[in-house]
Chain A
Amino acid sequence: MCEVKPNDSAPTEDGGEEKDWTAAKAFFDNLKTNKPRPPKPRYAVTIAVSSRTLFNMVAERKIYEDEGLEKYVAYQVEHEEEPLKPGAAFPFVKALMDVNCRLRKLYPDSEELFDIILMTNNHAQVGVRLINSINHYDLTIERFCMTGGKSPIGYLKAYMTNLYLSKDSDNVGEAIEEGIAAATMFTQEMDSELSTTELRVAFDGDAVLFSDESEIIVKQQGLDSFFEHEKEFENKPLAQGPLKCFLEALGKLQRKFYAKNERMNCPIRTYLVTARSAASSGARVLKTLRNWGLEIDEALFLAGAPKGPLLQKIKPHIYFDDQMFHIEGARELGTISAHVPYGIGQKYHKGKLIEQPAKEK
């Protein structure tokens, strides 16, 4: 199934690791501020966010693009006492922190928590401003990698990352190819009406939770063929898509609330928002989820209707879709959206095949 984290029968860490862990535990236990210490990575649900998704760095990015790296870093250093403004992933991160609070109350000794790490290509000197900004908002982000331009992929794997969010679509694409759930985020106007009691995560179905096998049929053979195919194979589970393991990780945390009789107040809620229709192609999706042992709180079958208005009502902290067409529609109505660059949908725009320029070697 999902092999992001080692299973429990894996050998425990060597003496060196235990030493580091014990030292960290002692460090945080001795802090006067009661800051919670970060969980052990092998048990946590690790969410890696880039600096540009966590904070709004549009103006700074422009300096980088217009004037180059040295000027950009100098600017950041000059302004390092000024906190950055929140970015697209900020509400999602706050919601993760709130879930952690609830989990810590119910399970004070558990390491099964969200672990939020900052994963950035930025130079370490820019890091001072990033740390100051994290301090300003009192975010529980204690781990970070500032790679000074080098690829983050190795570090994502080293941290057994369950989800990676970045504005850099190349990094996101590479992560997905390496089997890490990842999505590209975009700058957007912040909706202040998001839920503060519930982390809401919405997923598209095909090519996000599930593979793009059925999407291929739609694109290449049309809708009628798609309906026939899905009916015929209703009982055959779809193959998994890039975000299936992340949904599974969320489900694992949800069950911790259920176990303490908190199902009605569970602070994590998941949504499936799919263009499939309940009557025909929807059954296969529900059966696949059941086959995987996964639950989704609300499944919304749009039968091809636009997703934007529905998402506007749900107000998820993040919505994952593989097609830019849907992402754009969602964003227009204020939904925080993240693009999953996976599958056949990348080659099409609004139903038409995009002419790909010959790739340079």
Chain B
Amino acid sequence: MLSTIQNTDVKQKDADRAVVVAVTTRAVFESGDGDGVYGMGVAFPLLQALQRVNQRLLEENPAESLLFDVVLITTDSQQQQQSSRIISSTRHHGLEIGRFCFSSQEDFIESLLKNNVQLFLSTDRNEALQASQKGVLSAVLDRQVAPSEQLRVMLCGDAVVRPDTGPVPASQQAAQSFSARLGEMRRRFSMLDSPLSIVLVTSSGGRESCGVALRTLRSRGLSVDEAYCLAGAPRSPILSVLRPHFLLSDGVID
């Protein structure tokens, strides 16, 4: 059974213009024992970074409608039953969450689609895969990398450019449209001192692959800030310096 509850503590975003980001309850809150308020989970720093971007966007323009609209989504029945605890924990931590979507394992994807979610973030790889297969841009939240104040979105460039054969798969369409919105949001800020940084990483191709990815993203309206071409070099030492909040691979989870 699906249900959506609006968070009355938070001003609702413009449904047409906002970028809807769904994060799973499991990612945001640490389950722990007892009945009290939940502790902070893996996605906490991410939510704070998203909030900072919104704050800065409103500082630039108080009437800004291109904002992140964060929804908290449960993906199994067990979480679904904890609804009041989830809502009170959100309130307790002062999180800028617009809506709570309660669903089960069988229908959480339907919930994502109904709520026009443009990016789905989960600590569970299978959930992300399932959502991606149904055309929702998804990413797995990585527990290991300690994130920064600035929202750092990492794009994996090896998948950015595909041969132009056949129809574009739904997940790739979702990725492209998200990139364009992100690009528009990024343009609200100057090059220095931006609360949002777009990072491109290519893992296996040479410099030309990265160059092509840069130009392709540019043509889709996304101007990348930082670019790293690994050409086969080990990824994890670089990632631990890069500290992205999440990695997008153009709709394909690898």
Chain A residues within an 8 Å CB radius of B234: 13, 17, 20-21, 41
Would B238 and A155 count as touching, CB distance under 8 A? yes
Contact with A along B205-247 (1 / 0, CB 8 A): 1111111001100100001111111111111111011000000
Chain A residues within an 8 Å CB radius of B237: 157-159
Q: Looking across the interface, which residue of chain B has its beta carbon closest to that of A134?
A: B207
Chain A residues within an 8 Å CB radius of B205: 24, 27
Question: Could you say which of B208, B235, B241 contacts A131, with CB atoms under 8 Å apart?
Answer: B208
Chain A residues within an 8 Å CB radius of B236: 14, 16-17
- CA–CA, A149 and B206, complex, Å: 23
| Selected interface stretch from A50-58, A137-145, A166-174, A187-195 | A137-145
Chain B residues within an 8 Å CB radius of A134: 207
| Selected interface stretch from A119-127, A226-234, A276-284 | A119-127
Q: Which residues of chain A from 4 to 28 have a CB within 8 Å of any chain B CB? A: 13-14, 16-17, 20-21, 23-28
Is there a chain B Cβ closer than 8 Å to A38's Cβ? yes
Would A20 and B211 count as touching, CB distance under 8 A? no
Question: Could you say which of A20, A73, A157 contacts B191, with CB atoms under 8 Å apart?
Answer: A73
Cross-chain pair count, CB within 8 angstroms = 123
Question: Could you say which of B192, B223, B229, B235 contacts A20, with CB atoms under 8 Å apart?
Answer: B235
Chain A residues within an 8 Å CB radius of B240: 158
How distant is B244 from chain A, measured CB to nearest CB, in Å?
13
- CA–CA, A155 and B232, complex, Å: 15
**Given A70-B191, A123-B191; A37-B211 close (CB under 8 Å):** no
Q: Looking across the interface, which residue of chain A has its beta carbon closest to that of B223?
A: A125
- CA–CA, A159 and B209, complex, Å: 20
Would B226 and A25 count as touching, CB distance under 8 A? no
- CA–CA, A31 and B158, complex, Å: 15
- CA–CA, A147 and B197, complex, Å: 11
Would B232 and A24 count as touching, CB distance under 8 A? yes
Would B233 and A128 count as touching, CB distance under 8 A? no
**Given A17-B236, A125-B224; A143-B231 close (CB under 8 Å):** yes
Question: Could you say which of B206, B224, B226 contacts A27, with CB atoms under 8 Å apart?
Answer: B206
Is there a chain B Cβ closer than 8 Å to A312's Cβ? no
Chain B residues within an 8 Å CB radius of A40: 232-233
Is there a chain A Cβ closer than 8 Å to B204's Cβ? yes
Question: Could you say which of B211, B215, B232 contacts A23, with CB atoms under 8 Å apart?
Answer: B232
Chain A residues within an 8 Å CB radius of B190: 69-70
Chain A residues within an 8 Å CB radius of B218: 125
Question: Could you say which of B225, B228, B231, B232 contacts A123, with CB atoms under 8 Å apart?
Answer: B225
- CA–CA, A132 and B207, complex, Å: 10
Q: Looking across the interface, which residue of chain B has its beta carbon closest to that of A80?
A: B215
**Given A24-B231, A134-B207; A148-B225 close (CB under 8 Å):** yes
**Given A23-B204, A27-B205; A146-B228 close (CB under 8 Å):** yes
- CA–CA, A10 and B200, complex, Å: 30
Chain A residues within an 8 Å CB radius of B208: 131, 135
- CA–CA, A25 and B210, complex, Å: 16
**Given A38-B231, A69-B191, A124-B226; A141-B238 close (CB under 8 Å):** no
Is there a chain A Cβ closer than 8 Å to B54's Cβ? no
A20-B232, A142-B206 known; 11 new pairs, CB 8 Å cut-off, are: A20-B203, A23-B203, A24-B203, A31-B206, A40-B232, A123-B225, A125-B218, A131-B207, A134-B207, A143-B207, A143-B233
Report the 10 A-B pairs with minimum CB-CB distance, sorted nearest first.
A24-B232, A154-B241, A158-B237, A23-B204, A124-B227, A131-B211, A148-B226, A142-B231, A24-B204, A142-B206
Provide 7 A-B residue pairs closer than 8 Å at the C-beta atoms, listed in order of the A residue. A13-B234, A20-B233, A24-B205, A37-B206, A73-B191, A128-B215, A142-B229
Interface residues of A (CB under 8 A from B): 13-14, 16-17, 20-21, 23-28, 31, 35, 37-38, 40-41, 69-70, 73, 123-125, 127-128, 131-132, 134-135, 141-150, 154-155, 157-159
